[in-house]
């Protein structure tokens, strides 16, 4: 299990922890059938050499897809970094997910 941390709005971090926290692994784990899982997989990069350790208010498990062992796949051991740009994209997707769920509940 490889995890990373990102800094997002505190209310979004609380929403994500409330919805996706997995007690068996002790961190947030997104289901492999969700769009967020695929988005995270697409945003995973190799960690730059001069990059400091991860800091942030949301820690989550990185996707480990079966294709990671084949050519062209991303292994979380090597691709374990979400850039600032990737964090902004992920934050936007999480905010849209939260508002969609809220609107569904209100309807």
The domain locations on the chain are 3-106
Of 56 and 1, more confident: 56
pLDDT (0 to 100) of residue 53: 80
Burial 58-75 (b: 16+ CB within 10 A, else e): bebbbbbeeebeeeeebe
- What Cα–Cα distance (Å) separates residue 57 from each residue in 64, 103, 107? 22, 25, 31
Cα 67-88-98 angle, rounded to 5 deg: 85
Residue 80 in this model has a pLDDT that exceeds 60: yes
pLDDT (0 to 100) of residue 73: 73
Q: Which two tokens stand for residue 51?
A: 């990059």
Own/partner long-range contacts of 97-104 (Cβ < 8 Å, ≥24 apart) = 97/35, 97/36, 98/12, 98/15
Average pLDDT over residues 17-23: 94
- pLDDT, mean over the chain: 89
| pLDDT band at residue 54 using 50, 70 and 90 as cut-offs | confident
Q: pTM (2 decimals)?
A: 0.86
| pLDDT band at residue 98 using 50, 70 and 90 as cut-offs | very high
């Amino acid at each position: 299990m490889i995890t990373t941390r990102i800094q997002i709005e505190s209310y979004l971090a609380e929403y994500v922890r409330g919805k996706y926290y997995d007690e068996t692994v002790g961190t947030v784990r997104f289901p492999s059938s969700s769009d967020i899982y695929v988005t995270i997989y697409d945003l995973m990069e190799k960690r730059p050499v001069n990059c400091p350790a991860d800091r942030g208010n949301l820690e989550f498990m990185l996707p480990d897809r079966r294709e990671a062992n084949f050519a062209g796949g991303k292994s979380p051991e090597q691709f374990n970094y979400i850039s600032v740009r990737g964090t902004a994209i992920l934050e936007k997707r999480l905010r849209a997910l939260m508002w969609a769920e809220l609107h569904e509940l209100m309807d």
